[in-house]
Structure 1
Amino acid sequence: MSFSQPVRAAAGNPVVRPINAAEHLAFVRAQRSVSFLQTPAWGRVKTEWRSESLGWFDGRRLVGAGLVLHRPVPRLDRFTLAYLPEGPVIDWSGEIGVWLDPLAAYLKEHGAFAIRLGPPVVTDTWSAAQVKEGIAAPDIRRLTDLPGQWGDPVGAQVTGRLSGGGWLPQSPEGGFGVGHPQFKYEIPLTGRTEDDVLRGMNQQWRRNIKKAARARVEVAVGEVTLGEDLKAFHDLYVHTAERDRFTPRPLRYFETMFAEMRAEDPERIKLYLARHQGDLVAAAVLIRVGAHAWYSYGASATEKREVRGSNACQWAMIRDSLAAGCDVYDLRGITPTLDADDAHVGLVQFKVGTGGQAVRYVGEWDLPLRPMIYRAFDLYMRRRAR
């Protein structure tokens, strides 16, 4: 499911100009759902980028908004890559040129050599049953090999118009890479009860939730303002990173994230801590904007894995998302692999166990505004990735 669309613009082309954080936040709050990556607070979290809020105006009426993150070109600081992660928040269902052309003109005038954006628009959806069948089938290697997926006509239209307008697709075939993932796993919540969501999970997930309850795993929302709970989460997160071989973010990053996002909305971000007999066995970060909830970061202990603290954390966050009236619980990125021999398929299988559906979004696209500088930047990034 794509994020809900903002109010439609009138027949005239909207005008792009800067807006302040208060105007931007008011627009976000008026929408059913907006990515947390398109909130003013996110610009303050990403301290290595310069951020600005832009608005699309139909006369005096604000009809669209976007958070732009600017990254300078090495040795050419007056030029920037202008990045709108999972945005902008505009009406993607019509003629997108009336929205994107004034954005390109404004950003080029203010020193951008290229725009990168990720339309919050779905192209394809696969049910949990389809994904399970694909993993079991020896001739199926990727989600896109599965027959019978549901295709969104708006997604197909946006993809075609971006391609025809000179935009270049950036989403990696493997699903992960620079930017944000094109393939995600989501649990629809609209009109569902806790029992209904539980019934949609596979037997292993239901069994693990029951195991955690029988073991008396206790899940509580942390008091991050005290610092102790956030430090406990980070220690466990670093332990998880060492075990699973990924690079952890520093504690300061999470301190900034919680401070900025809570200042914007006290309910925006929460820390869940699962304890067994006083021992922290799992922890997770939940973010919510409007009717969309995201499982953002997680950590788990190597000891006491049999008490299933991670499942207990997930179930607590899903239940709270239901109680908050959310339309979707977003488990974030997956790769499109269904190959049983691929190391990434384990993550897909874990998320498929929740029920829900695999979703492909339009992905991230670049529009070069100064082609020579863009080519130099692209070469620089390719060399860094080696």
Structure 2
Amino acid sequence: MINTPTAEEWDAFVLQHPRGHILQLSAWGDLKSQYGWDADRVAVCNANGDVVAGAQILFRPLPMRLGTMAYIPFGGYVTADEQWPALWQAVREVSKKHGAAFLKWEPGFYTDEHVPDFAAMGFKESPQTVQPPNTIMLDISDSEDDILARMNQGTRRKIRKSLKNDIAYIEAVPEQVAQFTDLMQVTGERNDFGVHEPSYYALQHQLFVPDHAALILAQHEGEILAGVFVFAVGDTAQYISGASSNVNRNLMASYGVQWQGIQWAKARGCHTYDMWGIPDEPEDQLEAQFQERSDGLWGVYGFKRGWGGQVIRSAGAWDMVYNPLIYGAYKVAIAVR
């Protein structure tokens, strides 16, 4: 049986699923729906009406009114492998209603799990990803001393310094989000990457805090020096965005606030902390080039590498084509960008 689950039904399924992810919660669909996407959900249910498989799908218009791109970020969940065909058929039907020319699926990370055969399901490897495919994962299941011991010496020293500089670490209330968004603008300009508009972060805070996220700020003598937006579903937390001031950088607030984010995740029972996004290069190339590069995600890799994590690449992006002609035009457009 196929149906459209309510937000409550869908979230209950995501939160109990071992691969549940923040980007599949209904609130993420609500957030993206305010910024150029539409969101829909589809579920495969058993005879009792319980959700056993499903996906939250985002839709974004393609140029020249050529329909939409359907997109499933870090989702597409089943409870048994034989449910995949029914799920993809249900996704196709929903995508058709939204005029999708193709479906882009980013399944996420597979560590100890069986990796599905994406090609056998009808997908082809995509020429374009939406989320950064490469990340650094920290094991935070051990004691704080063990977590610190895995970091490099410079990062440990800076964390300890940040805890001695009369910095107060606070979880932001809605009225303080604007201070974080100001810092995001500063950080984006300094490290040469794009940031969202202020209202995006305000809505993100409204939708996710306190149930699934925290915005942690570092404050010194009344001034906000750094902040991290940390999310969590299940046993994994994600550090999705962070910012720091250009002043008083010697106080190492960006290290202290990140350490507070790790402690927040650990207190929630998380075992893994995802540093969310580094350059899409093999680890040997990352290590060879990070001191020379500062463009894009290279600017933050030097910071993230010191926290003692493991470089892990996701399964990337995979496309299922519904309209070959429009998909062909999309591939050409990507190639010439």
* TM bucket, shorter chain: 0.7 to 0.9
Structure 2 CA distance for aligned equivalents of residues 165 and 290 of structure 1: 27
Secondary structure of the structure 2 residue equivalent to 1:353: helix
Displacement of 1:290: 2.6
CA RMSD of aligned residues (A): 2.3
**What's the CA shift string for 1:38-96, capped at 9, x where partnerless?**
1111111112111111112233331122110012333436x3211101111224x8457
**Alignment pair present for 1:168 and 2:124:** yes
Secondary structure of the structure 1 residue equivalent to 2:28: helix
What code does the residue aligned with 1:353 have? G
Alpha carbons 2:43, 2:53 under 8 Å: kept: yes
What code does the residue aligned with 1:162 have? F
1:330 is aligned, of 247, 266, 274, to 274
Alpha carbons 1:16, 1:102 under 8 Å: kept: no
**Alignment pair present for 1:317 and 2:261:** yes
Q: How many residues align?
A: 324
What code does the residue aligned with 1:24 have? W
Cα 1:171–1:184 change in 2 (3 A) is farther
Displacement of 1:322: 0.9
Could you tell me which residue of structure 1 aligns to residue 161 of structure 2?
211
- Please give the TM-score of this superposition, normalised by the length of structure 1: 0.77
Could you tell me which residue of structure 2 aligns to residue 114 of structure 1?
102
**Alignment pair present for 1:250 and 2:250:** no
Cα 1:37–1:315 change in 2 (3 A) is same
Alpha carbons 2:135, 2:275 under 8 Å: kept: yes
Could you tell me which residue of structure 2 aligns to residue 28 of structure 1?
14
**What's the CA shift string for 1:155-179, capped at 9, x where partnerless?**
3xx2xx222444221266xxxxx40
Cα 1:108–1:281 change in 2 (3 A) is closer
What code does the residue aligned with 1:278 have? G
Secondary structure of the structure 1 residue equivalent to 2:163: helix
Secondary structure of the structure 2 residue equivalent to 1:362: coil
**What's the CA shift string for 1:116-154, capped at 9, x where partnerless?**
11113426xxxxxxxxxxxxxxxxxxxxxxxxxxxx572
**Alignment pair present for 1:186 and 2:173:** no
Structure 2 CA distance for aligned equivalents of residues 327 and 153 of structure 1: 16
Cα 1:222–1:50 change in 2 (3 A) is same
Percentage of matched positions with identical amino acids = 29
Alpha carbons 1:122, 1:359 under 8 Å: kept: no
**Alignment pair present for 1:366 and 2:319:** yes
**Alignment pair present for 1:290 and 2:290:** no
Displacement of 1:301: 1.2
Could you tell me which residue of structure 1 aligns to residue 38 of structure 2?
50
Alpha carbons 2:70, 2:95 under 8 Å: kept: no
Cα 1:163–1:311 change in 2 (3 A) is same
Structure 2 CA distance for aligned equivalents of residues 109 and 232 of structure 1: 42
Secondary structure of the structure 1 residue equivalent to 2:206: helix
Structure 2 CA distance for aligned equivalents of residues 222 and 316 of structure 1: 13
- For structure 2, list consecutive stretches of 5 or more residues without a partner in the other structure: none
Alpha carbons 1:84, 1:118 under 8 Å: kept: yes
Could you tell me which residue of structure 2 aligns to residue 40 of structure 1?
26
Structure 1 CA distance for aligned equivalents of residues 160 and 191 of structure 2: 26
Aligned residue runs from structure 1 range 221-236, under 5 A: 221-224=171-174, 227=175, 229-236=176-183
Structure 2 CA distance for aligned equivalents of residues 109 and 249 of structure 1: 30
**Alignment pair present for 1:64 and 2:67:** no
What code does the residue aligned with 1:215 have? N
Could you tell me which residue of structure 2 aligns to residue 277 of structure 1?
221
**What's the CA shift string for 1:169-197, capped at 9, x where partnerless?**
1266xxxxx4011111111223x121211
Structure 2 CA distance for aligned equivalents of residues 277 and 109 of structure 1: 55
- Please give the TM-score of this superposition, normalised by the length of structure 2: 0.88
Alpha carbons 1:118, 1:362 under 8 Å: kept: yes
Displacement of 1:246: 2.3
- For structure 1, list consecutive stretches of 5 or more residues without a partner in the other structure: 1-14, 124-151, 173-177
Aligned residue runs from structure 1 range 117-128, under 5 A: 117-122=105-110
Alpha carbons 2:42, 2:94 under 8 Å: kept: no
**What's the CA shift string for 1:317-347, capped at 9, x where partnerless?**
1111111101211100112242324445563
